[in-house]
């Protein structure tokens, strides 16, 4: 029998071994994915990098159960090459990956789209989009048949003022998602994205004009949307990581109160 706040016996993710990136605060979507996953029976390993490593280690202590934290900078080949051994040591294999990695230099945001250098635009695309491919291929030696990859997206169908090269990076991420789904289907590995509505995370607060974007979500979606609540998005990730959508891949699941579907 499960204990209060502990893993559920026979939970949605019972027996799953998951790698979760991007846990940098307890307001992050990734943190709540890890929390819900543990309560649904999963084993979880976190990754972090550089000066953020102690922060992620502190966040790991706030989860329902202890979670190991391993060093991973997705732009460093040595870190990627060391990842399979770390997975084998801590989890013994892998049933799911959560990609919650995005970064753009300030010069690539805020309305200076036409002036952004390729170096800064390229950094945004490498870290925010190419990293999905880099992470998945690094993990492949440890991935079980039927594994699921879930990436966090912000719908790139529209151009958002100030979002600039991060918006381009999200469009690239959506394309990477489709190609990974195509090339990994033969291994029975599913690859999907969750396009979240605006959630006031640490990363979101760094976006110029975020207050305007938050106001849109407060007033316009068909369903009420709370910009301070990452749980609806995290629950959608948990479902995609489970066995309940075995024939769904290459998909973008919108968890945005329905805003993407209506005229605003």
Q: Which of 224, 221, 107 shows the shortest CA–CA distance to 166?
A: 107
Q: How deeply is 235 buried, as exposed, middle or buried, from its count of CB atoms within 10 A (0-12, 13-18, 19+)?
A: middle
Q: How many residues does the chain have?
A: 264
Count CB-CB contacts under 10 A for residue 103. Answer: 17
Angle, CA 184 vertex, CA 182 and CA 189 arms, to 5°? 120
User: Is 73 in contact with 79 (CB distance < 8 Å)?
Assistant: yes
Distance CA 36, CA 48 (A): 19
Angle, CA 66 vertex, CA 23 and CA 71 arms, to 5°? 45
- DSSP bridge pairs for 151: 99, 193
Q: Which of 119, 132, 51, 102 shows the shortest CA–CA distance to 207?
A: 102
By annotation, the residues acting in catalysis are 163, 170
Phi and psi torsions of 224, nearest 5°: -60, 135
């Amino acid at each position: 029998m499960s204990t209060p706040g502990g893993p559920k016996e026979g939970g949605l993710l019972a027996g799953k071994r998951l790698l979760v990136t991007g846990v940098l605060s307890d307001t992050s979507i990734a943190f709540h994915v890890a929390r819900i996953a543990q309560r649904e029976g999963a084993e979880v390993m976190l990754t972090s990098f550089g000066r953020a490593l102690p922060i992620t280690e502190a966040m790991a202590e706030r989860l329902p159960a202890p979670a190991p934290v391993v060093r991973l900078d997705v732009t460093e080949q040595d870190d990627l090459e060391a990842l399979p051994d770390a997975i084998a040591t801590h989890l013994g294999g892998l049933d799911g990956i959560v990609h919650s990695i995005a970064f753009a230099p300030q010069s690539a945001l805020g309305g200076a789209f036409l002036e952004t250098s390729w170096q800064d635009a390229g950094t945004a695309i490498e870290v925010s989009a190419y990293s999905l491919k880099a992470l998945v291929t690094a993990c492949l030696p440890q991935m079980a048949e039927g594994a699921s990859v879930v990436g966090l997206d912000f719908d790139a169908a529209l151009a958002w003022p100030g979002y600039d090269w991060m918006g381009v990076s999200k469009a690239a991420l959506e394309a990477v998602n489709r190609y990974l789904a195509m090339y990994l289907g033969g291994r029975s590995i599913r690859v999907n994205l969750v396009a979240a509505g605006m959630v006031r995370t640490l990363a979101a607060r760094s976006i110029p004009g975020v207050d305007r974007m938050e106001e849109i979500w407060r007033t316009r979606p068909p369903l009420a949307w709370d910009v301070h609540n990452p749980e609806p998005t995290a629950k959608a990730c948990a479902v995609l990581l489970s066995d309940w959508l075995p024939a769904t891949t290459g998909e973008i699941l919108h968890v945005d109160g329905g805003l993407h579907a209506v005229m605003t």
